[in-house]
Amino acid sequence: MNRQLLRAVDDAAEALESREVPGELFAQVIDLLEAITARSREQAEQALLASSMTVAERRKLVLELARDERDKRQERQRHFARALFGEPAWELLLAIFISEGEGRSLALSKAAELIDHPLTTTIRWVEYLEASGLLIRERFGADRRVINIRPTTRAIAQIEAYFLGEKDDLDSEPAEPRLFGRGSSTARG
């Protein structure tokens, strides 16, 4: 979210304060504005910081934010059933993004272990994310049985935009991938 929008929200809050608005309604509006802008302010600060960084510093910041997100999700699973908040696709994207950022390859079986989902579920989401243009599957050099997964350039750009609160400037969205039956992709080697 950019500074102009944050300034507009602040101006709207000041305008509300200067007018005669019933107290309860005023409090509800202020609470709503604060809820909307809380995350946005944090993202705006990160984006402002990122705008003055080198590409390497920016990638390091986003990698750190992705690790924090992963850690928060893992902590939440210690307190609540996974069924309440399960998002295997996002967990998978975080895992491959972090592995790529750390310069490590990520085998499909290791990804399933990292996101704590069965291999069959992980494969299904890998197929979906691959069809969406967000990850690539590759056979490992000498051992053709091992399949590594990594994020596409597009996935990296979208994850960076997400964590920095930037608008995703990608030109086009891919067609909705077909997860089952014809049109689903499989690893080839």
* Residue range 55-81, pLDDT digits in tens: 788 888 899 999 999 998 888 888 887
Q: Between 118 and 178, where is the model more confident? A: 118
The per-residue pLDDT of the chain, averaged, comes to 76
**Across 1-5, 23-27, 118-122, least confident range:** 1-5
Contacts of residue 178, Cβ cutoff 8 Å, sequence gap at least 6: 131, 184
Residue 107 CB partners (closer than 8 Å, separation 6+) = 140, 146, 147, 148, 149
Read off the tokens for 170.
């990608």
139 in helix, strand or coil?
A: strand
Q: Which residues sit opposite 137 in a β-bridge?
A: 149
> CA of 113: how far to CAs of 78, 92, 123, in Å?
16, 10, 12
- pLDDT tens digit string along 98-157? 999 999 989 999 999 999 899 999 999 999 999 999 999 998 777 778 889 999 999 999
> What is the pLDDT at residue 186?
42
Which DSSP helix (H) or strand (E) runs through 78? helix 55-79
Task: Determine which helix (DSSP H) or strand (DSSP E) holds 72, and give its type and residue range.
Answer: helix 55-79
Q: Domains for the chain: give ranges and CATH numbers.
A: 1-52 (no CATH), 55-189 (1.10.10.10)
Whole-angstrom Cα distance, residue 121 to residue 80?
20
Q: Is the pTM of this model over 0.95?
A: no
Assess contact for 91 and 73: CB atoms under 8 A: yes
